[in-house]
Structure 1
Amino acid sequence: MKIISKYLKLLPVFLLVLVLTGCSDDDDNNTPTTVTVVDVAVANGFTSLAAALQATDLVTTLQGPGPFTVFAPTNEAFDDLLTATGLDLANLSTSEEELVRQILLNHVIVGTEVPSSAITTTGIYANTGADAPGNNNLSIYARVNADNNNTVEINGGDGTTSAPRNGADVTTPDVPADNGVIHVINKVLGLPTVVDMALANPEFGSLVASLTTAGQPDFVSILSTANGTSPAPFTVFAPTNAAFQTLLDSNMMWNSPADIDSALLTAVLQHHVLAGQNVQSGDLNQSGTTSPETLQGQTIDITLPGTNGNIADVVDGAGNEAGIRAVDVQTSNGVIHVVNAVLLPAS
């Protein structure tokens, strides 16, 4: 891990001053001093983060009991954001203040303290404090990238070692506070779309390759449509790499998605998407079958509870069975559920 500037070197001194000052104030009643994630951020010299928290009335929130996991962008990262967007923290309109507030909340896991040791090479998902469609909270994805010096990458990383992403790298992990932990990151996290989350997780590499295969509709643009604008929001059933490999192995002429007939591949991919719907697992019939219509035009059957270790069972348009293995990866324009087989339409 890279070490961030001189501020972190001064952290013990700042914290000691904070603690001693608090103890002096509370000597009469012996009340212990609490050093919150806000105090630690200020002590580290993250003035831009502190100003943004102040401008959006989030200081009091993060001074609460928590616990919080905060991914704290550096001043340089905030400067890049402000330059790119033209935002002025001292003069935000109502809509701009809400945007900045949601961006900041997307850096905070509320109610859970996640140390870097809990983040694996396969990755973990968690919910942030930011709002998402359907009164849900945005998800965040963190993983250790063994190909990037075991750097912890958030939402796919900062793009320096792979395709450009809407994420960041952790440069300094595990800065402690009494009400949580801070991980320093080198970029401000954007509000992720279903495309961003698919790009972030290498387990969806085959899905991304299929969506971007020559001759396909511009699925990236379609699935990046902002929430509230048709055809968003989306519910995406995302097959794993192993699921796609099973599909390719079913035909000796198929070595990659590009070998599949273009119209067939389009229909298959559309059969994994519900348009205009943000369907989380809790929205399904919890003791029966739900049969939504896909973007391709045919329905799939989703049955709860699942069998054979599946959270839910799925029957595609062709009558094949699949299982939902992970649910409710929430993005700003839809939700992703992970399936263990490629869903095929009837024709």
Structure 2
Amino acid sequence: MKIISKNFKLLTVFLLVLGLTACSDDDDNNLPPAEPMTIVDVAIENNLTSLAAALEATDLVSTLQSEGPFTVFAPTNDAFSDFLTEANIDLSNMTATEIVTVRNVLFNHVIAGATITSTDLIGAGSGYVSTEAAGVAGNNMSLFYNFTEGSVVLNGMSTVTTADVTASNGIVHVVDEVITLPSIVTFATADPNFSNLVAALTADGQPDFVTTLSLPNGVTPTPFTVFAPVNTAFQALLDSNDNWNSVADIDSDLLTNVLQHHVITEANVRSEDLSDGMMPTTLEGDMITINLPGNDGNPAKITDGAGNTDIDIIAADVQAINGVIHAVETVLLPDTTN
């Protein structure tokens, strides 16, 4: 009897505990669901307080709490502090102009309508995407990414240090530098496909192309439209003359004219602005002729000042803050007889 009594007591205690547990489970089931973690919540959760403060100061919190999806490259506190110090901006006491500037810089870290993972970026290797920042005439700014030396780098200046922090309305990648608004020069130097062009622009005896093509929009002769030859185009140019082993071997004045023949000033001519037969005048002075469409599905083809035809635009609309770049497959040559 004692054994039965003892077992009965234990059974009673067990049932009581089971009942309490069941009640506790029912209570848990009745709790409201956890609030979703938006991009802004993720920034705060990961101690990106400077970014959160900047979003608040520029009235962008509600934007990044909306449905999205967004891909956001989020600068660390140190990175944002360095940017504000260099720009001499105090978030708590900004002028209207400074608010617009900081807001556009922040938008340059945001890609709307897509959740882009580090696997996507690494798999692609390199490329361009459009951010929410406004370039010339409000056109969305481009962002160049490439996977180099084991890291994803943005516009040649900012490296992803922590990737794939997920949010309910997108994804966050932490970066070590603020991605400032890019100029024509930013993309030319960031994209390895233009390394031969950069070598030509900076060759001995050339005008200060870097300073000119870095001018802020609104300063004459901005904005620029640049038809940028890729590396293979410059190599083909060198191969066309037995005396040219590098751009340094090309006569300085000739090289200047050739480079200026790729630039249209005071115009941000995007692919949608091109029309069949249009003949813009280049910085060098000769006109080029645009025909639509290009070959092999490319958007347009060019006849240069020397009469060379069927030069395809192979990548279009790399939008900077002071102009736009179109990559071309062949170096454009001016009319040297005039």
Normalised by the size of structure 1, how large is the TM-score? 0.86
What secondary structure is seen at the aligned counterpart in 2 of 1:245?
A: helix
Give the aligned length. 307
Higher helix share: 2
Name the residue aligned to 1:17: none
Name the residue aligned to 1:337: 326
Shift of 1:34: 2.7
AA aligned to 1:49 is: L
- Residue 323 of structure 2 corresponds to residue 320 of structure 1: no
Shift of 1:256: 0.7
Name the residue aligned to 1:242: 232
Shift of 1:33: 3.8
Deviations along 1:182-235, one digit per CA (max 9) or x if unpaired, are 111001111110001110101100000000000000000111111001011000
C-alpha distance in structure 1 between counterparts of 2:127 and 2:207, whole Å: 31
What secondary structure is seen at the aligned counterpart in 1 of 2:295?
A: coil
Deviations along 1:272-295, one digit per CA (max 9) or x if unpaired, are 00000000101112xx22211111
Shift of 1:303: 1.3
Deviations along 1:38-86, one digit per CA (max 9) or x if unpaired, are 1111100111000000000000001111111100000010111122222
C-alpha distance in structure 1 between counterparts of 2:88 and 2:258, whole Å: 41
What secondary structure is seen at the aligned counterpart in 2 of 1:119?
A: helix
What secondary structure is seen at the aligned counterpart in 1 of 2:40?
A: helix
- Residue 117 of structure 2 corresponds to residue 129 of structure 1: no
Name the residue aligned to 1:230: 220
C-alpha distance in structure 1 between counterparts of 2:78 and 2:183, whole Å: 24
What percentage of aligned pairs have identical amino acids?
Answer: 53
Shift of 1:310: 2.3
AA aligned to 1:155 is: N
Deviations along 1:158-177, one digit per CA (max 9) or x if unpaired, are xxxxxxxxx20110111111
- Residue 222 of structure 2 corresponds to residue 219 of structure 1: no
Q: Does the aligned pair in 1 maintain the 2:271–2:299 contact within 8 Å? A: no
> Aligned Cα RMSD in Å?
1.6
Residue 304 of structure 1, aligned match among 271, 286, 292: 292
Segments of 5+ residues of structure 2 without an aligned counterpart are 1-27
AA aligned to 1:343 is: L
Deviations along 1:268-327, one digit per CA (max 9) or x if unpaired, are 000000000000101112xx2221111111111111111234221111111112100110
C-alpha distance in structure 1 between counterparts of 2:165 and 2:278, whole Å: 45
Q: Does the aligned pair in 1 maintain the 2:141–2:321 contact within 8 Å? A: yes
Normalised by the size of structure 2, how large is the TM-score? 0.88
Q: Give the greater-gyration-radius structure (CA).
A: 2
Segments of 5+ residues of structure 1 without an aligned counterpart are 1-23, 157-166
Shift of 1:122: 4.4
Shift of 1:27: 5.0
Residue 207 of structure 1, aligned match among 185, 197, 210: 197
C-alpha distance in structure 2 between counterparts of 1:227 and 1:238, whole Å: 19
C-alpha distance in structure 1 between counterparts of 2:242 and 2:160, whole Å: 43
- Residue 144 of structure 2 corresponds to residue 141 of structure 1: yes
C-alpha distance in structure 2 between counterparts of 1:83 and 1:290, whole Å: 46
Name the residue aligned to 1:74: 76
